[in-house]
């Protein structure tokens, strides 16, 4: 029997996989679907499975380390919590989502009188550099 | 008018009167006075049929069930009140979007949703 103070194999593997799931977000630095997390995570842990990725993403969301990203009509994506304010661009071709930094103008002017603004969600669409048609 | 047509007309009237995106429950609340015996299942069916006909389109919102609005309203954005959960149309648009996008990306459209409190709820708070 293994002494309780020593992490068993069964304990160690999920922790390592969880670390990999989190590290994928830190390295790729854009909102990712669980399928993308799986794809990148398998480069480090080839035996990583989709169910495991789902579980760790769900746990990380529950702990507030990841947050879901709103995308109309799309598969849900996640990003690290606490990032500086930014917007998103989704490619209509490859469906990848990219972070955009910088301010937009005129948001306050859209508000009807006496309405109070607390948060905004902006998604830009188009073709990313890899998918822009060459014409 | 058949019963079905009357129900459909009441649903359309709810959108024309309220002039903002509505959930099925809001349609029911607005239209139930017009047609006797209108229920939520009928409203859902009616909305589905109007979407299929192209008269209504779904309005997608962060973390919320879809609302619906008449098709062809032209470019506009939405505001959702976190207190009463009503969704309002916003006129006008924002500037500076092109400057956000990296060179070599091609910008083709955008969706913007503002969240906060409407005038009624902000006053009550």
Question: What is residue B81's three-state secondary structure?
Answer: strand
Residue A13 confidence class, pLDDT cut points 50, 70, 90? low
Chain segment A23-66, per-residue pLDDT in tens: 999 999 999 999 999 999 999 999 999 999 999 999 999 999 99
Q: Which burial class, exposed, middle or buried, applies to B108 when counting CB atoms under 10 A from its CB (0-12, 13-18, 19+)?
A: exposed
Chain A residues 1-60 within an 8 A CB cutoff of chain B: none
Look at B100 and A127 and tell me if their CB atoms are within 8 Å.
no
Residue among B91, B93, B110 whose CB faces A124 most closely: B110
Q: Work out the minimum CA distance from B5 to partner chain A, whole angstroms.
A: 31
Categorize the per-residue pLDDT at A1 as very low, low, confident or very high, splitting at 50, 70 and 90: very low
**Lowest-confidence range among A87-101, B23-37, B49-63, B98-112?**
B23-37
Mean pLDDT of chain B: 93
Q: Which residues of B touch A (CB under 8 A)?
A: 60, 62-63, 77, 79, 82, 88, 90-97, 99-102, 104-119, 122-123
At what angle are helices A34-41 and A9-28 packed, to 10 degrees? 110
**3 state DSSP class of B69:** strand
* Biggest distance spanned by C-alpha atoms of chain A: 70
Q: What is the predicted ipTM?
A: 0.86
Split at pLDDT 50, 70, 90, the class of B1 is low
pLDDT the model gives residue A103: 87
Cα A68 from chain centre: 7
State how far the Cα of B18 lies from the Cα of B85, in Å rounded to an integer: 15
User: Strand B106-117 and strand B77-81: pairing?
Assistant: parallel
pTM over 0.90: no
């Amino acid at each position: 029997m293994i002494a309780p103070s020593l992490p068993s194999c069964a304990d160690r593997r999920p922790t390592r996989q969880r670390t990999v799931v989190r590290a994928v977000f830190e390295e790729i630095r854009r909102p990712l679907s669980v399928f993308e997390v799986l794809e990148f995570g398998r480069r480090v842990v080839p035996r990583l499975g989709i169910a495991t990725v789902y579980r760790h993403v769900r746990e990380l969301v529950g702990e507030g380390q990841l947050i879901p990203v709103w995308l109309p009509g799309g598969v849900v994506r996640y990003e690290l919590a606490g990032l500086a304010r930014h917007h998103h661009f989704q490619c209509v071709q490859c469906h990848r989502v990219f972070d955009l930094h910088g301010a937009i103008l005129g948001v306050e002017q859209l508000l009807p009188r006496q309405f109070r603004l607390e948060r905004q969600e902006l998604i830009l669409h188009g073709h990313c550099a890899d998918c822009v048609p060459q014409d | 008018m058949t019963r079905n047509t009357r129900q459909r007309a009441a649903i359309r009237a709810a959108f024309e009167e309220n002039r903002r995106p509505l959930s099925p429950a809001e349609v029911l609340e607005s239209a139930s006075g017009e047609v006797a015996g209108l229920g939520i299942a009928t409203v859902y069916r009616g909305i589905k049929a109007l979407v299929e006909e192209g008269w209504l389109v779904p309005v997608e919102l962060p973390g919320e069930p879809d609302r619906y609005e008449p098709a062809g309203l032209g470019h506009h954005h939405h505001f959702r009140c976190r207190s009463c959960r009503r969704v309002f149309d916003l006129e006008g648009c924002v500037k500076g979007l092109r400057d956000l996008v990296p060179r070599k990306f091609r910008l083709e459209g955008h969706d913007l949703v503002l969240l906060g409190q409407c005038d009624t709820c902000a006053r009550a708070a």
